[in-house]
Amino acid sequence: MTTPVPARLRTHGWLDWPATADILTNATCAWADTDGFHIAERPDHLPATSHLWAWTTHTCWRARIDSSQTLLTELTLNPTEPHPDTIEVHSQPGIAWPTDYGPIGPQPPGVLTTTYTRYTTPNHNDATGTTYIHGENES
């Protein structure tokens, strides 16, 4: 079951990693690379991955990484001020892998025990939207 939540969606456009890292300075980040799945402070260097998700108390980010650039979008949950970019997103509890799930291999501490919420934006072209992640170990 999903719950509707008001949110403000904004794009930062294509940025280099230093500009992206500056925006994500106080955020908790999640990404997967050849060393596994990570939930940590934002990495100092551009990670070798295609997507990175990040969050603070009321904000989620999604970074689409392509070569040395990131397409960064920001989702502010329950905005306090009215804004024309306010949309309704759907939230639902995220489902982590079980701690004994063998196919993913060993994971760093906290990865499989972090609870999180998925926020999905509407997409008028098909049945899917863009997903943002907000973890309970928020910064």
Q: How many alpha carbons lie under 13 Å from residue 119 in its C-beta half-sphere?
A: 26
The percent of residues in the chain predicted with pLDDT above 70, rounded, is 91
> Are 116 and 94 spatial neighbours (Cβ–Cβ below 8 Å)?
yes
Tell me the average pLDDT of the chain: 85
Tokens coding 64: 């689409």
Give mean pLDDT, residues 122-135: 71
The residue assigned the tokens 């001020």 is 81
Residue 69's pLDDT is what?
96
> Are 131 and 51 spatial neighbours (Cβ–Cβ below 8 Å)?
no
The residue assigned the tokens 């992206």 is 20
Residue 139's pLDDT is what?
40
Q: What is the reported pTM?
A: 0.83
Q: How many alpha carbons lie under 13 Å from residue 81 in its C-beta half-sphere?
A: 3
pLDDT digits (tens, 9 = 90+) for 5-46: 889 989 999 999 999 999 999 999 999 888 878 888 999 999
- Indicate the helix (H) or strand (E) that contains 90: strand 86-93
pLDDT digits (tens, 9 = 90+) for 64-95: 999 999 999 999 998 888 788 788 888 888 87
Q: Is 102 helix (H, G, I), strand (E, B) or coil?
A: helix
**Domain locations in the chain as residue ranges:** 3-135
